[in-house]
């Protein structure tokens, strides 16, 4: 089984945020809920060498912000906004995308 992609993590982040009254999916919440949405492989669960205490898939949550200027990234495309120290807020454009899924 292949590893989940950053795009798949971002898509689930969008879904989780769309179900919140304030539109914010916190980092803690994402770590708890993403495994309920995506099947994680043994490769996803390998401990990160660059982020102690995190598995590889958890690192991808923060990579959404790290890669925010990359085409196709959910922040770059206007679906999510980074909320420093908390997580991600869904935008109106993100709500429209989530509603189509």
pLDDT of residue 75: 98
pTM (2 decimals)? 0.93
Query: Which residues, including other chains, have CB under 8 Å from residue 98's CB and lie 6 or more apart?
Result: 14, 15, 17, 18, 90
- Phi/psi for 34 (5° steps) reads -55, -40
- pLDDT means over runs of 10, the chain (101 residues): 93 97 97 96 93 92 96 97 97 96 81
């Amino acid at each position: 089984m292949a590893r989940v992609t950053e795009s798949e993590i971002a898509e689930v982040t969008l879904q989780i945020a769309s179900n919140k009254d304030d539109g914010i999916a916190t980092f803690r919440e994402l770590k708890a809920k993403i495994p309920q949405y995506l099947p994680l492989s043994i490769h996803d669960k390998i401990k990160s060498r660059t982020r102690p205490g995190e598995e590889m898939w958890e690192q991808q949550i923060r990579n959404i912000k790290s890669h925010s200027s990359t085409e196709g990234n959910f922040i770059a495309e206007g679906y999510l906004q980074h909320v420093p120290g908390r997580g991600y807020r869904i935008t109106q454009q993100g709500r429209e995308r989530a509603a189509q899924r």
